[in-house]
Amino acid sequence: MLGRGIHGGALTLTYDATIYEVTEVKGPEGVLMATNADRPGEMRIHLARAEAREPAVLRVVLEIDESTNRRIDESRSSFIVRVTGQVFGPEGGVIGTVEEVWGRPLTHSLSVAYPNPFNPVTTLRYDLAEEGEVRLMIYNLSGQVVRQLVAGRQAAGRYSVVWDGRDEGGRSASSGVYLARLEAGAFQQTRKMLLLK
């Protein structure tokens, strides 16, 4: 998806070509798109648009190749599909990164916030490989808690949480660098985010 203010992107879709085949890549109206699938299991997608007032959705369809004789096991890494890349602003400069993983998570992880930098809303995605107690917190650079986004027990899976740039009291946070910290059992991971106003 291309959000408001995003004029283009360079994305790489990686997947196990012995299991999947890409059957459709379709951009929305008003978006120029080029694809390159020279290597098995990798597709590069380049997008550009003149107007970026509304979000635009890119449709990619992967189907299980009927000729495969492999038994598909969701716990295997071969079942994972990844999307990585960068998105660009109106002047062509990089304004954010993309890091998506589809399929059953194999490990705990906290992805880079998107968009990042942001104003005032960003999305945090995280994977849980097993059920357990989870905390997702926002801290300032002084180590003070700004906002608690998640606290409780969650099942294994993929999650997405929006931070609206507000603190626990509902006040807008000031511009600057913030830290998102995921804690799940003994696992801990921190990602930096930049709030611009």
CA dist 130 and 166 (Å) reads: 30
CATH fold match for the domains 1-104 and 105-197: yes
Fold observed for domain 105-197:
Immunoglobulin-like (2.60.40)
Q: In the chain, what percentage of residues exceed pLDDT 70?
A: 88
The domain locations on the chain are 1-104, 105-197
Q: Which residue, 96, 129, 127, is CA-closest to 113? A: 96
pTM, two decimals, is 0.54
Cα-based distances in Å from 102 to 26, 99, 140, 141: 19, 10, 30, 31
Residue 195 banded pLDDT, cuts 50, 70, 90: very high
Q: Which residue has the higher pLDDT, 27 or 172?
A: 172
Which class would CATH give 1-104? mainly beta
